Structure 1
Amino acid sequence: MTGTLKLPHEGTPGSSAEGLDARLVVERGAFRLDVTLTAAPGDVVALLGPNGAGKTTALRALAGLVPLTGGHLRLDGAELDRMSPESRPVGVVFQDYLLFPHLSALDNVAFGPRCHGVPKSQARAQAAVWLDRMGLTEHSSAKPRRLSGGQAQRVALARALATRPRLLLLDEPLAALDARTRLDVRAQLRHHLADFEAVALLVTHDPLDAMVLADHLVVVEDGRVVQEGTPSDIARHPRTDYIAHLVGLNLYRGEAEGHSVRLDAGPGITTTEDLTGPVFVAFPPGAVTLHRDRPTGSSARNVWRCEVAGLETHGDQIRADLAGELPLAADLTTVAAAELDLRPGAPVWATVKAAQTHAYPA
């Protein structure tokens, strides 16, 4: 690939009005979306959440495809919600890309500039530059049916960028790709987004896509923001069960007195942190050690009697879903699972060392 995706800033550099400033309020029947989003030029923000959380509604509201019922939407100081969708400086890459099947890759990319009044020859010249930047020059004459999933994704991205948007929206940009292609295209997309100088916002339910592609995560559940921060902060300090499940942690809430935490539901946990008041306690499934009998020589401060509720393959390990004194997930090797004769309904003892837990204020 040659060149970069850098786009010139518009407006006054360093102006506080640059970037995205939005409070998206959308009421649709019994569902209410109320999400605040802010981002500076060059930021890549991921809107993450389960199905039905309101992610797509938020994206469609930003694009002008769903009207706001409240709040505000400003981009580089302009009132975006007062503009028609086609006049907004917004580029969108939809989940299924929506390439025109009868047009070549070149003419798909040229479509945006043509809609903005650029003459055909000039629009096609601009499109050729974008395809070159995406490494797709040799596919410029190909129709979408002749493109691979990764190639189609890059054509869709080039088409969105060819209009020189100040806000780039990506709706589940990698969802249509198989696992092998997804790995390569994710790396390519990260490179493209790193060079994009306006605001980029992607909607996804895949935590790996969010962690790799975005600088800032906004987690939405039931139409509201439940947590936001950098990927590392979200991964280390989950604040809901949904987020804990995404990042692969056991998560509990309780009341701390020194190194002891009395859980809201369940027994106590000993931690290394010395805290007082409401806290979360988290630890990875790999920190859990399972025993058939109550351990007597273990140095672990946390010991609970459990029962195997279910087993599933998790990568190259077995993940045990445990019920009992403390519901939790434990990861162990296939050999260890066989030696323990694990099966649904089997009684086990679970231990976790205090040093492997992490407590933080709720």
Structure 2
Amino acid sequence: MSTESRPGPALDARLRVERAAFALDLALTAAPGEVVALLGPNGAGKSTALRALAGLLPLTGGHLRLDGRLLEDPAQRVHAPAEERPVGVVFQDYLLFPHLSALDNVAFGPRCQGRPKREARAEAADWLERMGLADHATVRPGRLSGGQAQRVALARALAVRPRLLLLDEPLAALDARTRLDVRAQLRRHLAEFEAVAVLVTHDPLDAMVLADRLVVIEDGHEVQSGSPAEVARRPRTDYIARLVGLNLYQGRAEGSRVTLPDGTALATTEELDGPAFVAFPPSAVTLYRERPRTSARNLWQAEVTGLDLHGDQVRVELAGDLPMAADLTPAAVAELELAPGVAVWASVKAAQTHAYPA
């Protein structure tokens, strides 16, 4: 995942898939060595896009080129079947063959490509060694831990020397501790991968750690793309704001003031004019039981609607002129005697908000 300049796109796709109640229309490009994460709510089209890239779901329009080779174009009646595409897939539940050893699971792909058995098994042994699983070569999937099975699945996908690696929620089946270790290992392997990798995930941390670029999909269309830092700093939909843990509002800016459609105003430190977003983290919100004397230029009345433990903080959901989330310590929640239905005052300093063009 180098930041050096790269040649033109190795992946060039316009994925159009029409179904009875859903339509996907997604343009997707990636340079050699680039890791792209597809993010979006359930039903957004992420898995549909992945299946289309793999050749498991035919396009109804658009095209798919990989390293300049046209793999699919319905208008030209071109459709390379899945088994003929230089694509490796790691599925969410790994789909390892239960009756084969780890070694033979990894050797399966090279054997299907016509390589002799001895050569395929030697290459599989090399991949297992790279994954730190040389001692588990004879073990069948049922006796592997979740982390070990994930690494065998990754080795099997890489053993076919793919030009496109597809990862479908690759860490979703792991417990929190194993996930941390395997995420770090996966990052290292992706950094060494010279072709294109496309990752589908619901987990923002997986996306932020593993991907060079995020593509956010909602209702079958891209709504935002950019580096993890860009997307986290300037979310453009409520889904993305929740994903990265921000309160987000859209209104019209006049100087350092943004007015929302209902007339509620937010003071910021940025000078803007025209349609704008304003975002701030829940940690920027301070709560009071009585109207405070504060220098904060943003002050609203609110009502507590929910309390939820969020790491070592309590996430307080607030309704009122400006619905928002606030993060407080458990001690602060106890001191304020917060509970659903309690009336509070909420303040946010202008310096802790971030305004940007909509």
Instruction: Give the TM-score band, short-chain normalised.
Output: over 0.9
Residue of structure 2 equivalent to 1:317: 313
Residue of structure 1 equivalent to 2:344: 348
CA distance in 2, matches of 1:236, 1:224: 21
Query: Is the Cα–Cα contact under 8 Å of residues 301 and 321 in structure 2 kept in the other structure?
Result: yes
Matching residue within 82, 85, 98 for 1:85 = 82
Matching residue within 27, 33, 38 for 1:42 = 33
Cα distance, 1:264 vs structure 2 = 2.2
Residue of structure 2 equivalent to 1:95: 92
Residue of structure 1 equivalent to 2:190: 193
Tell me whether 96-105 or 17-26 shows the greater mean CA deviation.
Answer: 17-26
Residue identity (%)? 74
The residue matched to 1:22 in structure 2 has which SS? strand
Residue of structure 1 equivalent to 2:128: 131
Change in Cα spacing, 1:16 to 1:194, as seen in structure 2 (3 Å) is closer
The residue matched to 2:194 in structure 1 has which SS? coil
Residue of structure 1 equivalent to 2:76: none
Q: Is 1:64 aligned to 2:55, yes or no? A: yes
Q: Summarize deviations over 1:189-236 as a string: whole Å, max 9, x none.
A: 000000000000010111000000000000001100000000000100
CA distance in 1, matches of 2:343, 2:91: 48
Cα distance, 1:281 vs structure 2 = 0.1
Cα distance, 1:266 vs structure 2 = 5.1
Letter in 2 for 1:348: V
Residue of structure 2 equivalent to 1:148: 145
Letter in 1 for 2:92: Q
CA distance in 1, matches of 2:9, 2:84: 18
Q: Residues 169-184 of structure 1 correspond to what in structure 2 (within 5 A)?
A: 169-184=166-181
CA distance in 2, matches of 1:72, 1:281: 37
Letter in 2 for 1:320: V
Cα distance, 1:16 vs structure 2 = 5.8
Residue of structure 2 equivalent to 1:263: 260
Unpaired runs of at least 5, structure 2: 73-78
Query: Is the Cα–Cα contact under 8 Å of residues 6 and 31 in structure 2 kept in the other structure?
Result: no
Residue of structure 1 equivalent to 2:66: 75
CA distance in 1, matches of 2:355, 2:14: 32
Matching residue within 12, 16, 22 for 1:25 = 16
Cα distance, 1:311 vs structure 2 = 0.7
Q: Is 1:54 aligned to 2:45, yes or no? A: yes
Query: Is the Cα–Cα contact under 8 Å of residues 17 and 76 in structure 1 kept in the other structure?
Result: no
Q: Is 1:337 aligned to 2:333, yes or no? A: yes
Letter in 2 for 1:290: L
CA distance in 2, matches of 1:310, 1:17: 49
Residue of structure 1 equivalent to 2:75: none
Q: Is 1:112 aligned to 2:109, yes or no? A: yes
Residue of structure 2 equivalent to 1:272: 269
CA distance in 1, matches of 2:262, 2:331: 33
TM-score in terms of structure 2 length = 0.96
Change in Cα spacing, 1:17 to 1:78, as seen in structure 2 (3 Å) is farther
CA distance in 2, matches of 1:154, 1:15: 28
Q: Pairwise CA RMSD of aligned residues?
A: 1.1
The residue matched to 1:80 in structure 2 has which SS? strand
Cα distance, 1:35 vs structure 2 = 0.7
Query: Is the Cα–Cα contact under 8 Å of residues 216 and 222 in structure 2 kept in the other structure?
Result: yes
Residue-pair matches, total: 348
Query: Is the Cα–Cα contact under 8 Å of residues 17 and 77 in structure 1 kept in the other structure?
Result: no
Tell me whether 215-224 or 75-84 shows the greater mean CA deviation.
Answer: 75-84
Change in Cα spacing, 1:15 to 1:241, as seen in structure 2 (3 Å) is closer
The residue matched to 1:156 in structure 2 has which SS? helix
Query: Is the Cα–Cα contact under 8 Å of residues 266 and 325 in structure 1 kept in the other structure?
Result: no
CA distance in 1, matches of 2:319, 2:263: 11
Change in Cα spacing, 1:275 to 1:159, as seen in structure 2 (3 Å) is same
Residue of structure 2 equivalent to 1:302: 298
Letter in 2 for 1:358: H
Residue of structure 2 equivalent to 1:7: none
Unpaired runs of at least 5, structure 1: 1-13
Q: Summarize deviations over 1:107-148 as a string: whole Å, max 9, x none.
A: 000000000111111110111111111111000000001111
Residue of structure 2 equivalent to 1:3: none
